[in-house]
C-alpha cells in the first residue's frame, strides 16, 4: 500500500520539501532565462560572466526536467531584439552554443535528450549554427526530453511569416480563406507538432513576455521569480512545478 502511494509522487533529488504528483507534471515547460547581466553586475563582474554562469543553470534545469518526466523544455536563449545589445556581448552569446554543446552534448546523448532549435536561422553565424546542427543530428533518434532552444526567436516575426505562408498558399490555390483555422496557423509556426507550453517560468523579477511564444502561451500557467537565471536552481524549478500543480486549469470553462 505504501509503495503504491509513493509511486504517485516524484521525490526531487535536491534538498527540498516539494513532493510532486507524478501524474500532474507539465508536458511542456518554457523558460525566459533572464537576469544574467544583473547577476554579474551585482557581483562586480562583466555581463558576459553572467551569460557564462547561466550555462550551468541550463544543464541543471534540463536534467531536473528530464528526471521529472517533462517531455518538452523550451529555453529562450536569444531574441530577435537582442541584436540591439553591444556587439561584444552579442558575439559572446553567439559562441555560447558551441561552448555549451562541446561540454554537454555527450551527456545529453547519454540521457536520451533530443536537441531542437527554433528561430530565424538566416541571421546566425556559421559558428553558431554548425554545433547546433551537429547536436540536432546526433540526438535526432533520442526519445526522451526534447530540449528546444529559442535562438534568434521573435514571436511577432514567427506569426508574420506564418501569415505570409498562408497568403502564398491562398494565392497559389492550395487554400481558400474559408479553410483557414487555428490548425492551419499552428502548422506554420516553429512549434508545429509540439504541444503548447503548460507552464511558463520567467526569472529575474520581470513580469512580461518579451515577444516570446505569444500564440502558444494563450492558456499557459505563468510563474515569475525574482531569482536571476544563474542562481535558478533545481529547487526553484520544483517550486514552480509545485505551484503549477496547485492550480486548476479551466481553459475558459468552469
Positions marked catalytic: 34, 82
The interaxial angle of helices 234-246 and 47-68, nearest 10 deg, is: 50
Tell me the C-alpha distance between 108 and 51, whole Å: 20
- Three-class SS state of 25: coil
Task: Give residues with Cβ within 8 angstroms of 118, minimum separation 6.
Answer: 74, 148, 149, 150, 151, 153, 190, 191
- If you ran DSSP here, which 8-state letter would residue 141 be given? T
Going by the DSSP 8-state scheme, the letter that residue 113 receives in this structure is P
Length of the chain: 254
Q: Which three cell numbers stand for residue 102?
A: 562541446
Spatial distance between the Cα atoms of 97 and 138, rounded to a whole number of angstroms: 15
Residue 27 burial class via C-beta count within 10 angstroms: exposed 0-12, middle 13-18, buried 19 and up: middle
Q: How far apart are CA 11 and CA 14, in angstroms?
A: 9
Return the C-alpha cell found at 125: 553565424
Amino acid at each position: 500500500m505504501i509503495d503504491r502511494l509513493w509511486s504517485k509522487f516524484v521525490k526531487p533529488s535536491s534538498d527540498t520539501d516539494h513532493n510532486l504528483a507524478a501524474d500532474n507534471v507539465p508536458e511542456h515547460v518554457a523558460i525566459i532565462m533572464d537576469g544574467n547581466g544583473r547577476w554579474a553586475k551585482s557581483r562586480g563582474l562583466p555581463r558576459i560572466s553572467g551569460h557564462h554562469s547561466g550555462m550551468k543553470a541550463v544543464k541543471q534545469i534540463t536534467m531536473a526536467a528530464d528526471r521529472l518526466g517533462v517531455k518538452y523544455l523550451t529555453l529562450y536563449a536569444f531574441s530577435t531584439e537582442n541584436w540591439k545589445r553591444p556587439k561584444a556581448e552579442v558575439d559572446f552569446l553567439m559562441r555560447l552554443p558551441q561552448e555549451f554543446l562541446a561540454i554537454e552534448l555527450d551527456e545529453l546523448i547519454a540521457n536520451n535528450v533530443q536537441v531542437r532549435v527554433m528561430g530565424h536561422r538566416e541571421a546566425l553565424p556559421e559558428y553558431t549554427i554548425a554545433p547546433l546542427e551537429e547536436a540536432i543530428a546526433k540526438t535526432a533518434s533520442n526519445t526522451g526530453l526534447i530540449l528546444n532552444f529559442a535562438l534568434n526567436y521573435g514571436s511577432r516575426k514567427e506569426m508574420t511569416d506564418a501569415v505570409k505562408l498562408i497568403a502564398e498558399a491562398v494565392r497559389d490555390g492550395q487554400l481558400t480563406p474559408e479553410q483557414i483555422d487555428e490548425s492551419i496557423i499552428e502548422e506554420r509556426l516553429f512549434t508545429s507538432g509540439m504541444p503548447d507550453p503548460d507552464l511558463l517560468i520567467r526569472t529575474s523579477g520581470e513580469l512580461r513576455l518579451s515577444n516570446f511564444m505569444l500564440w502558444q502561451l494563450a492558456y499557459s500557467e505563468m510563474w515569475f521569480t525574482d531569482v536571476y537565471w544563474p542562481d535558478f536552481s533545481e529547487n526553484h524549478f520544483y517550486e514552480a512545478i509545485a505551484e503549477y500543480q496547485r492550480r486548476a486549469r479551466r481553459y475558459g470553462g468552469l
